[in-house]
Amino acid sequence: MNRMSAGCQYKHPFQFYSDVPKIASARIVRKNPVEALLDSSQDNSFVNRWGGELKRDNFDVKMLLNRGMDHGVVIRHKKDLLGYEGNVDWKSPITRIMPQGFDGLFLPEKYVDSPLINKYPHPKIKVVEFKHIKAAIGENADDEDAVPLEEAYRLLRQAAKDMFKIQKVDQPKATYNVKFQELSQTEEYKDYKHLQSVYMADTVTVDHQEDGIDIKAKVIAYKYDPIKKEYLDITIGNFKESFTDVSSRVDLVQEELSNMPSSILDVAKANATSLINSGFGGHVRIYPDRILIMDTKDEKNAKKVWQWNLNGLGYSSTGVNGPYGTAITSDGRIVADFITAGTLSGNLVQGGEITGSTLKTSNSANFVNISKQFIRLYESSKVRAFIGYYKNSRSEIQPTFILGGDSDQTGANGAIMLYQFSDVNVKSGGIGITKGLDGNGYLNAASLYFSQTGNAMLDADKMIALNAQSEMRFKVKDQFRFYRNDNWIASIGVASGGDTDIMLPNAIIRNSSWDDGYIQVKTALGTYYQGVIASDFKVSSKETYKTNIRPIAFSALEKVMEWEIKQYNLKTDIPKLYEMRMNRKEGEPTISTEAIPTHYGLVIPKESEENGVGLYGMLSQLTSAFQEHVTKTRAKFEEVEPIKPKGNIKHRNKVKRQRRSPRRVKRNS
């Protein structure tokens, strides 16, 4: 306020004051002080940047954080009530703001909602532009007034919230007029009588029961009877039309025009006007076939010469004989170091270098726009392709080619982007399809990334499908590694001995090149063999796969009887035994090998060339031995003669008669 007071063009007796604690900044140039303070339509006004309410007391001009008080006075809005009139504009509230920053910057979530949004049947949406909020991205990355993208987002959100909090744009513009003399004739006067206790700028709550919303309004005008010491009528409102509301629209246009730099054409016109108006002191010589305008009377000594004849008009800075560096000739040619025009039309433009701010190939909706280091291809007035470079959020030079959007928010939704990070020690780049934008730049839904070091990465949010009509080959020098999220789950590679391994977190499946091609299951380090658990094992035993089939030529029983079945522990269980012994507490029983699993089976000597036994072969021999044993046992039973039964064969099978119990006669007593 002090800066505003001191910055006025003329001296004045007014004292400026404010108790608003908010810290903000504004650039105010060529503004009426009333506009600078109160014009809410101008972004840099005091009421928009700081908020507050005006209080004028003679020569004191005060912008107060809150003028008046809220004594809790509540009145009920009623229509068609004598002495009471309410004018409410229900079309004016804004409950959902889409803040737009400089150069079409929007929030990722698009909207900022009012706390009162649920008080209305439907959201009332409006796009509000905040041109002073500029993000340091794209073409604006090096601008001094630009801020980081996330900070720009924060400022946009806060600016929208301030419109709800300070300007109360989420409440309808309303004005209420109470005429106490007429209202006193009604029964409802008792509900409004307490308005006699409010003062200028005090807050009154108007209850709109039928609409389900309360409107905070202030006393903005009144008529007072000093004899009776009471109000005759009082006006309450949250909106008051100002003379700046209309004039501000004109000022905004003028401000935009005054901020625009002079065009190249205007500069050229001014330069030409200055040269021509100051070009006095020359000498004109007229001949039948030409006109000379020179800097001296003598043609031989003249340096600056204009010559006009049948073939054209030209200027030479080296005398009458030229050369003429600036000329218009009769064959339709123009020779000049610089040509400035508002509109330059032609079928063909040839030249070694064309320099300018913007080159547009057509005035239709389909054209190519070249500006600085940016090329944009338009179709239906929309950017369909972008070629250029800019500094990204990490201040790296990033050449970029975008199909389907521009280097702003429009390129963040399904555009194809080809980019390179060139301003780094290790150059890298990629191609992808965008899905959004955050503080670090564009987000890709699917992309291919590669770097100068030889690394490449194919990434997708969902699925990657590879399809080939013939064959698909993968070539790797070391390993194929598989991950789930960031956790390694498997690898395919070749061991030092030339074996092909499928490596898992706790085991290795090895195709050995020296163990007769058997598939081996080993521990994760490949030191020992690992167990296998399965519901069943099926061995290929079909006659189709076999040849030279014949009976066993030896005694399977004798061979099985020669087997030496041992009990043993696996070396892979020994570390577990050591761990149990290390964790044993004093006084607890000694831990022996009984604490780890005991296994049973054949033990092949170390010097044997075999590493294992064939379970199917052993089971077959065991089955043959069992069959041999059963056959021999039956043969022995058949060699034993049957024992002949003793006694008369006739009576041997006769059933013996049972002995009857003796009869007993009951005696009469």
* Domain limits for position 618: 556-631
Number of neighbouring beta carbons within 10 Å of residue 99: 25
| Model pLDDT for residues 599-615, shown as the tens digit of each residue | 998 888 887 777 788 88
* 350 found inside a domain: no
As given in the structure block, the two tokens for residue 228 are 């009776």
Q: C-alpha angle with apex 338: 332 to 342, nearest 5 degrees?
A: 80
Q: Are 105 and 133 in contact (CB under 8 A)?
A: yes
pLDDT at 240 over 50: no
pLDDT at 252: 40
Q: Which of 292-306, 353-367, 546-560, 648-662 is predicted with the least confidence, judged by mean pLDDT? A: 648-662
pLDDT at 374 over 50: yes
Q: Are 134 and 152 in contact (CB under 8 A)?
A: yes
Residue identified by tokens 């009604």 is 186
* 61 found inside a domain: yes
Q: Are 117 and 129 in contact (CB under 8 A)?
A: no
Under the banding of pLDDT at 50, 70 and 90, the label for residue 247 is very low
Domain count, the chain: 5
**Same structural domain, 376 and 431:** yes
Which residues have a Cβ under 8 Å from the Cβ of 569 and sit 6 or more positions away? 593, 596, 597, 598, 599
**Same structural domain, 367 and 402:** yes
* 298 found inside a domain: yes
DSSP β-bridge partners for residue 482 = 490
Residue identified by tokens 């191609």 is 431
How far from each other are the two terminal CA atoms of the chain, in whole angstroms?
150
Decide the pairing of beta strands 382-391 and 203-208.
unpaired
Residue identified by tokens 């064969």 is 649
Q: Would the CA dihedral through 372, 378, 382, 385 be positive or negative?
A: negative
**Same structural domain, 456 and 362:** yes
DSSP β-bridge partners for residue 371 = 358, 374
CA nearest neighbour of 104 among 511, 494, 382, 399: 382
**Same structural domain, 528 and 574:** no
**Same structural domain, 495 and 568:** no
Number of neighbouring beta carbons within 10 Å of residue 346: 6
Residue identified by tokens 């003669």 is 641
As given in the structure block, the two tokens for residue 635 are 């043969």
pLDDT at 249: 38
Q: Are 235 and 177 in contact (CB under 8 A)?
A: yes
**Same structural domain, 497 and 586:** no
Please provide residue 334's backbone torsions phi and psi, each rounded to the nearest 5 degrees.
Answer: -125, 125
Q: Are 460 and 435 in contact (CB under 8 A)?
A: no
* 50 found inside a domain: yes
Q: Are 152 and 160 in contact (CB under 8 A)?
A: no
Under the banding of pLDDT at 50, 70 and 90, the label for residue 645 is low
Single-letter residue type at 321:
N
Give the highest mean pLDDT range of 104-118, 327-341, 647-661: 104-118
**Same structural domain, 456 and 370:** yes
Q: Which of 432, 460, 488 is the last residue of a domain?
A: 460
Which residues have a Cβ under 8 Å from the Cβ of 303 and sit 6 or more positions away? 295, 296, 317, 318, 319
CA distances from 10 to 6, 57, 62, 186, 561 (A): 9, 21, 19, 54, 126
pLDDT at 450 over 80: yes
**Same structural domain, 456 and 484:** no
* 87 found inside a domain: no
| Model pLDDT for residues 173-211, shown as the tens digit of each residue | 877 776 755 555 566 656 666 666 677 788 877 777 666
* 112 found inside a domain: no
As given in the structure block, the two tokens for residue 551 are 């009976």
**Same structural domain, 444 and 362:** yes
* 202 found inside a domain: no
Q: Which of 67, 84, 101 is the last residue of a domain?
A: 67
Higher pLDDT, 646 or 573: 573
| Model pLDDT for residues 132-148, shown as the tens digit of each residue | 899 988 888 878 888 99
Q: Which of 498, 518, 533 is the last residue of a domain?
A: 533
CA nearest neighbour of 39 among 252, 312, 259, 187: 252
Interatomic CA distance for residues 376 and 357, integer angstroms: 14
Please provide residue 152's backbone torsions phi and psi, each rounded to the nearest 5 degrees.
Answer: -65, -40
* 661 found inside a domain: no
Interatomic CA distance for residues 100 and 345, integer angstroms: 37
